[in-house]
Structure 1
Amino acid sequence: MNTSYRWDGCLRATTAKSLLIGATLFGAIGGAYAQGTVQLYGIVDDALTSVTNEGGSHIWSQTSGVGQSDRWGMRAVEPLDNGWQAIFRLENGFTLNDGRLSQGGLEFGRQAFVGLTSDRFGTLTFGRQYDFMTTNLTQFAAGTLTPSVFAFHLGDLDRLGAERLDNAVRYVTPGIGGFQFGALYSFGGQPGNFVADSAVAFGATYAQGPLKAGAAYIGLHNFTAAFGIGTTVLGTPLVGTGAQGLLSPFQVFDKLTVSGVGVGYQWGPAFLHGLFTLVDFSQNGASASLRTAEGGVKYSLTYALSLAGSYGYSKLGQAHWNQIVGGIDYSLSKRTDIYCNAVLLRASSGVQAQLFSLPASSSNSQTVVSIGMRHLF
C-alpha cells in the first residue's frame, strides 16, 4: 500500500454548514444547492532513532514524524450546480515531542488552498500547494514506501519529501484514458519583478491496472537551499550542521530546475518501483547537475505485515553517493501501525555523508535506525 496516501482513506467526516465561496467568480457554475461536508484528519507519528555519526557522535533521540510527518487538517467539499464542487484544504504540521509548529512556524504550513473541481473539467486551486514532484512521484520513492523520512534523497533537492509553493495557481485535468495532466504557476510577489521568486511546474500521471507512472518538472527562480547535502555546489558550501541538518545561513541559487520520472507495478503481493530525478543548479552563469536513480520493492507477506527495500545512486560532478534502505511495517489495525527501518548512506571520498533532515556526518558514511509507531485519524 502507498503509505503516503493511506490516511486519505481514514478521514472521519462530519456534516458542517454550507461553504460561503462566491460562485459569482464562475458564473457558469450556478448557485449552490446542497450542504457540503467538512472532514477532520491527521497523523501522529513518533520513533526512537539511532544515528551512527552526527557531527562525529553516536546519537540516540526521540524523533517525531519519521514514518510520516505529524499533521492535522480540515478539508471540505460543497456541491454546486452542473457537476461542480467548491473545495478547500487547511493542513497544519507540528512536531509531536514538543508541540511546536513545523514549516517555519506557519499555522497551515503544509497546505492551504481553495478551489473548484469537476469530473468533466478538472480541478483549479489557489493557495499554498504541492508541486508535481510531490504529487506525481513520491508514491515511487523509498521515503514513502519504507516508510522513513531519512530515505528521501540528498537535502530533498528533488522535492519528493513534500515541498510546497506559496501564491500558487494549480490546474489538473480530469482523467483521459488513464492519463492526467497538470500545470502550476507560483507568483513571486516582488513588486516590479514578475520573475523573481516565481516558479512554473508541469506534471503527468498514468494508471492502468497494475501499472502506474508519473512525470514532473519544476523551475524555481531564486531558490533557497535550506538542508545540507555534505558537499559544495558551484562554490557554495551545502554542509548542514544545524538542527535537522539545516544550513547556517541558508544559500540562494539563481535558479533550480527539477525533473523526474517514476514507475510502479503491482505484481501479486510485490510492488516494484523505480525512480529517476535530475536537479540542475544555476548560479552566476555556471551550472551543475545532481542525478539520482532509485529502485526497490515493497512486499506484503500478509495483510498486516510488509517488507520494503531499495537502493539509490546519486552523482554530482565527481561526488557520488550510495544509499541502501530497508524496513518492516506491521499494522495493528486499519489506522495504527508500528515500523522499524534503517537507512545507510555512503558518499565518495572527501564528501561528508548527510542523510536528509540530519546534521552532517564527520566522515563519508552515516546510518540511522528507527523504531516507531504511527496512528491515522
Structure 2
Amino acid sequence: MGVLLAGVVLPVNEARAQSSVQLYGIVDAALTYTNNINDGRTWAQSSGVARNDRWGFRGEEDLGGGYRAIFRLENGFSINSGTLGQGGLEFGRQAFVGLASDQIGTISLGRQYDFMTTNLTTFSAGSLIPSVFAFHLGDLDRLGGERINNAVKYVSPTLEGLQLGALYAFGGQPGDLVSNSASSFGATYARGPLHLAAAYTAIHNYQPSFGIGTSVLGTPLSGSGPLGTLSTPPTFDKLIVSGLAAGYQLGPVLLQGLFTLVDFQNKGQSAVLRTEEGNAQYKLSSVFFLAASYAYSKLDSDHWNQIALGADYFFSSRTDVHLNAVYLRASSGVAAELFLLSPSSTNTQMIVALGLRHTF
C-alpha cells in the first residue's frame, strides 16, 4: 500500500484499503521555423510540440469484489512561460472520478475526452510524426485532444479484442436537456497486428476555437489570436464528427489509414469537411523511428493537401529528441493555416521543429 510519486511508492496508513496515487507529466520544448505567418517568417521557441506539456495526478483505490475507485486531475501549461493552458483552467486537460471493474467496465464523471480522441488519435499524424501541428484543420475532428465538460462516460471491458464505449454530457442549462449537450460513441478492435477503431461525437451549440483560413456556412474561420485562435468564436447549432481508422504492424513498419467527417449544421444548412489520411512509421532500431503522412481535406469547393515528416530518437524510455516538418497547401484563394498557427498570407504554410521531450 502506498502513494506513487514519480515512480516511487510512499507508504500510507495501513488501515486504509489498497490504493495508489501517481504524479506524472510531460515537458517538451522545441525550436521552430515557420515560413509564413501573417506574411512573415518566424523563428520561435515553442512549447509542447511532440506532445502538449502537462502534469497531473491519477490514482485508484481497491474497493474489494473486483471494484476500484479511480480519479485523474491533469493540468496543461506552457514550459516557455509557465502559464496555464486551456484558457487558464487549473485542471483543463482532464478532471474526473469514477468506478472501474475488469468484469463490467469503467464509468467516470467529469471533464473528459470524447471517443474521437481516445479511439482515433493514435492513428493520426499528430501522434505518429510526432507533431501537434500535424493534426487536421483547426482540430475540428477532435483528434488533437478536445474535452467535454459535465460528461458521464462508460467504457466496456475488452472481450475478444473488442471494446465499446458511450458518453453523454449535460449542457448545464436549467430546464433544457439539449442546449450545449453532447454525446459520443466508440469502438475499438485489436487482434494481433491489426487494430481498428471507430468513433462518433455530436455537440449542440458548438463553438470552434481555432481558425482554418476560410469560411464555413458564410462564417469566417480565420485565426487572429495566439495559437491561431478565433478572436470571436461563432456558434453552430450542431457539430457532428465521425471517423474510422485502421492500423497494421508489418515487422518494423506500421501502416495506418484514417478517415473523418465534420458536419457543421446551422439554421437548416449543412457543410461537411472530409479528411482522408495515410501514414507510416519505420522502426530503424529500438530507439530510432521515422514517420511520414499525407492528408487530403475538402470542404465545399475548398481543399487542402498536408504532408508531414518526422524523426524521433530516444535517449532513454523517458527522454527523446524529435525533428519534424509539416507542410500545408490550400486551394487558390484560401489562406493556409496549420493547427495552432495564425494564417499564412498565401495558400501555403510550413513549419519545421527540433525539440526535446521528457516524460515522468
Measured against aligned partners, the alpha-carbon deviations of 1:106-127 in whole angstroms (never above 9, x if no partner) come to 0000000000000000000000
The reply on whether 1:80 has 2:57 as its aligned counterpart is no
Cα distance in 1 for partners of 2:132, 2:259 equals 18
Which of 253, 261, 272 in structure 2 is aligned with 1:289? 272
Which one-letter code corresponds to 2:91 in the other structure?
Answer: F
- State whether residues 13 and 37 of structure 1, in contact with CA within 8 Å, keep that contact through their aligned partners in structure 2: no
Give the Å deviation of 1:33. Answer: 6.8
Give the Å deviation of 1:35. Answer: 2.3
Give the Å deviation of 1:273. Answer: 0.6
Give the Å deviation of 1:128. Answer: 0.4
Q: Identify, as 1 or 2, the structure richer in helix.
A: 1
Cα RMSD (Å): 1.3
SS in 1 for 2:121: helix
The reply on whether 1:156 has 2:139 as its aligned counterpart is yes
The reply on whether 1:137 has 2:120 as its aligned counterpart is yes
TM-score, with length taken from structure 1: 0.93
Which of 73, 87, 97 in structure 2 is aligned with 1:90? 73
SS in 1 for 2:234: strand
Closer, same or farther: CA 11–302 of 1 in aligned 2, 3 Å:
farther
> Residue 206 of structure 1 aligns with which residue?
189
- State whether residues 16 and 37 of structure 1, in contact with CA within 8 Å, keep that contact through their aligned partners in structure 2: no
The reply on whether 1:12 has 2:10 as its aligned counterpart is no
SS in 1 for 2:103: coil
Cα distance in 2 for partners of 1:335, 1:14 equals 19
Measured against aligned partners, the alpha-carbon deviations of 1:284-336 in whole angstroms (never above 9, x if no partner) come to 11000000000010111011111000000000000000000001010011110
- State whether residues 33 and 81 of structure 1, in contact with CA within 8 Å, keep that contact through their aligned partners in structure 2: no
Number of residue equivalences? 355
Which of 327, 332, 354 in structure 2 is aligned with 1:349? 332
Which of 275, 279, 282 in structure 2 is aligned with 1:299? 282
Unpaired runs of 5+ residues, structure 1, are 1-9, 19-31
The reply on whether 1:262 has 2:257 as its aligned counterpart is no
SS in 2 for 1:248: coil
| Correspondences of 1:319-338 after superposition (within 5 Å) | 319-338=302-321
| Correspondences of 1:1-377 after superposition (within 5 Å) | 12-15=7-10, 17=12, 34-377=17-360
Give the Å deviation of 1:80. Answer: 1.1
Q: Report the identity percentage.
A: 61
TM-score, with length taken from structure 2: 0.97
Measured against aligned partners, the alpha-carbon deviations of 1:247-277 in whole angstroms (never above 9, x if no partner) come to 1111111100000011111110111111000
Which one-letter code corresponds to 1:104 in the other structure?
Answer: G
Cα distance in 1 for partners of 2:57, 2:111 equals 14
Measured against aligned partners, the alpha-carbon deviations of 1:146-203 in whole angstroms (never above 9, x if no partner) come to 0000000000000000110000000001011100000000000011211000000000
> Residue 21 of structure 1 aligns with which residue?
none
SS in 1 for 2:65: helix
- State whether residues 13 and 38 of structure 1, in contact with CA within 8 Å, keep that contact through their aligned partners in structure 2: no
- State whether residues 186 and 200 of structure 1, in contact with CA within 8 Å, keep that contact through their aligned partners in structure 2: yes
Unpaired runs of 5+ residues, structure 2, are none
SS in 2 for 1:134: helix
Which one-letter code corresponds to 1:231 in the other structure?
Answer: T
